Chains A and B, each alone.
Chain A
Amino acid sequence: MRTARLSSGFPIIAFTAAAVVLSACTGNIGALGGSEDSPEEPALQPGESASGSAGLRFPRLSGAQWKHSVLQLLRLPPSTPVSLPTETLPHFAFDTNQQVYGVSSPALSALRDTVEQLVTLAVADDAALTSFIPPGAPTEPQARAEAVVRELLFRAFRRPPSQEETSKYTAYVLGAGGGSDNEKLRNGLRVAIQIAVQSPFFLDRVELGNEAQVLACEVGGRVRLTGYELATRLSLALFDVAPDDAMLADAKAGKFDDESSYDAQIELALADPRARATMLRFHEQMYSIAEFAKLSKDGAKLPLFQSGMGADMQEDALRTVGDVIDAGGGVRELLLTRTGYVNARLAKLYGIAADGLSDSQYVRRELPPERTGIFTRAGWLAWSAGPVERKPILRGVVLLNHVLCEKTAGAPPIPAEPTYPTNVVTNRQRVEFATSSAGCQSCHATINNKGFAFQRFDASGAFVAQDNGQMADATGSFVLDGKSISFDGAQSMFEQVAVSRQAQSCYAKKWTEFLLGYPGSTLEEKIANQVATLAEQRSVPVRDVIRAALRSDAFTTRKVTEAKP
């Protein structure tokens, strides 16, 4: 361990792999405050597939990572159209989740078919071909082919290829037919590329670590990833693409091999606009923002919601998150922000003046007090509701999972709508009645009260006083940081949640899960505790949470689990 400083200047205990650089392995996980018995690999979450794997040494690139990496390898524009089959995410899983991206034959075939189309574009003519020829490459055909292959495999496999690999792929290139030398090289390169990108060394994020260190380390210890592996992990985590030429050059120069150099790489990466895009993507998934655009409501009963407003709400949420990130805010600000982006119709829904606004422009505005935090924005509220009715159970579950990291059991089959007594009128009363049995209450006692905090927001996201003709009841209480809190409405709830250790810790866990690709590790808990402790003093910026995760052993090392020969 070491004492480091985050960019904001506050001291923070960062987990580092300094010891790993000097010796075979970090040794004791428990020394970092965890239990020796704590499984580092996560338990599956309710509703998740048991067939998946976590903490793999060969996690497959996600569909997006693969697409971005192939285009980069082929030196094609990122905007090149690529169509890949959708891979369904489990509920509440990030798109980086290792369990999602399997190696089934349909998935592999789809990737192969895509490459077949792209590779033709990549080496379409001599000009394109030139981009694959390293500067100073020999002109003699065999030597040139070998140089081209070595460079190609270096970029594809994110490490120097072995001589055996180079020889094999060179044979593919040299075996190509064609008239001119360039035509032969082009044909050969087409073959070599198609084979290379189907290799597990391209398709997977291979993280074996240094062999000598692994062998010298006892089972249960941790070894640092190699510089190339760490560069790949960092690039995929923050840029959603394999390391580019510059980063690979840095890895080759050893700039991922020691702590201070790696810290510098983190700073470089965080300053890259692609990292900001990833931060937005994280929150987009956390708050289901991408789904806002598809929203539709019963216009007759919810007249403030007009067709197409989902896109407005999406814009509002994304810009708001972006503002928080750019201003150096963190989860506290996300849960408390009162500024938003509105156009004319969204302003109307928010109940603020729409003077001078149009529907085509978004303007930053201060929102009313009830709009405290990202979860009180119209988009999330409309998303967590049906065409007409609020969905307090869904709202409560999301809060539990995304904000408080409290686990709930998997959703049971939805029972038939009960026949309500005549005195059960409001949406809240109905939910309470339907979940009143002892069996239901084992979970819903925890879920419902959090969802009821939003009862003054209808299914369009509008702030309303009533719930089915009666005064809306948004009161509730629950235990937070070991103490009971009470609230009346979302604003008072978030004012307490935003400063809680639990919310800070949960936010850090979510980031760690996102960056690592699997949830629930012991080290994730440590990072979360670290961030939460710091948050007791001040708000922790999003970038600092990311730094903590990227510097942690969870990110820079891997656990030794293999049997020793």
Chain B
Amino acid sequence: MLFQIFLIGFAVWLIGRVSRQYSLRKIQLSWFLLWTIFSVGIIVVALQPGLTDRLAGLVGVGRGADLVIYVSLLLLFVAIFRHASHLHRLERDLTDLVRSLALRDAKDENFNHEDSPSDSGLSAAAGRNWSDRS
């Protein structure tokens, strides 16, 4: 009973939180709906614990609690995969940005500076004037 009250309280708090975030345009409608449906699901399961057992029986899983854990794990794996994909894209975008800035600055530093490498000791040691491209 205590755990059911906790679950319902948590779900109500979650609905309030995502509603506020949606009203402030911090999350999109799709996320608002997803979290709201999830919270309503928690409330339904808290009020009707036997429902998960019936659902578990339908899909061939032993107990309702097992079904909840399996589904939760599946959703977590999906969430982790999405986050990993997003992080990978962010890393790639960051590298592209850092590279773009580096090349822009390098052009100025290496070719517009008084002591550009084409006049420096490096090219002299190599015995070639880089501007002489044949």
Bound pair (A, B): no
Chain A residues in contact with chain B, CB under 8 A?
A: none
